[in-house]
Structure 1
Amino acid sequence: MSGDGRGADKDMATVPEGGPLRDAFGAGTVMAQAVRAARDLVACVEAHPGLFCSDALDATTCNALACANAFAAAGVDAPRTRILNRTALWLFGLDWLVDHKAAAREEIEDINRRVLAVLDGADPAPGDELTPFLAEIRDELAASPAFPALRTAWREDLVRVLEAGLREWEWKTAAASGDRGRLPSLDGYLANADNIGSAWVNLSHWIALADPATIANLEPLREVNREVQKALRLLNDLATYERDLAWGDLNAIMLDTDRAGVSARIDEIIRYCRRLLGPLRDPCPDGTAYLERQLGFNIAFYGVSDYWGSP
Structure 2
Amino acid sequence: MTAPRPLVTRFAPSPTGFLHLGHAHSALAGWRRARTGGGRFLLRIEDIDATRCRPEFTDAIFEDLTWLGLDWDGPVRVQSRHMADYRITLDALAARGLLYPCFCSRGDIAREIAGSAAAPHGPDGPLYPGTCRRLTEAKRRARLAAGEPHALRLDMGRALAGLAGPLDFEEAGQGRLHCDPARFGDVVLARKEVPASYHLCVTHDDARDGVTLVTRGVDLLPATDLHRLLQHLMGWPAPAYAHHALLTDASGRRLAKRDGAPTLRDLRRQGASPAQVRATAGWPD
Which structure is higher in strand share? 2
TM-score (norm 2): 0.27
Answer with 1 or 2: which has the greater Rg: 2
TM-score (norm 1): 0.25
Relative CO higher for 1 or 2, CA cutoff 8 Å, sep ≥ 6? 2
Which structure is higher in helix share? 1
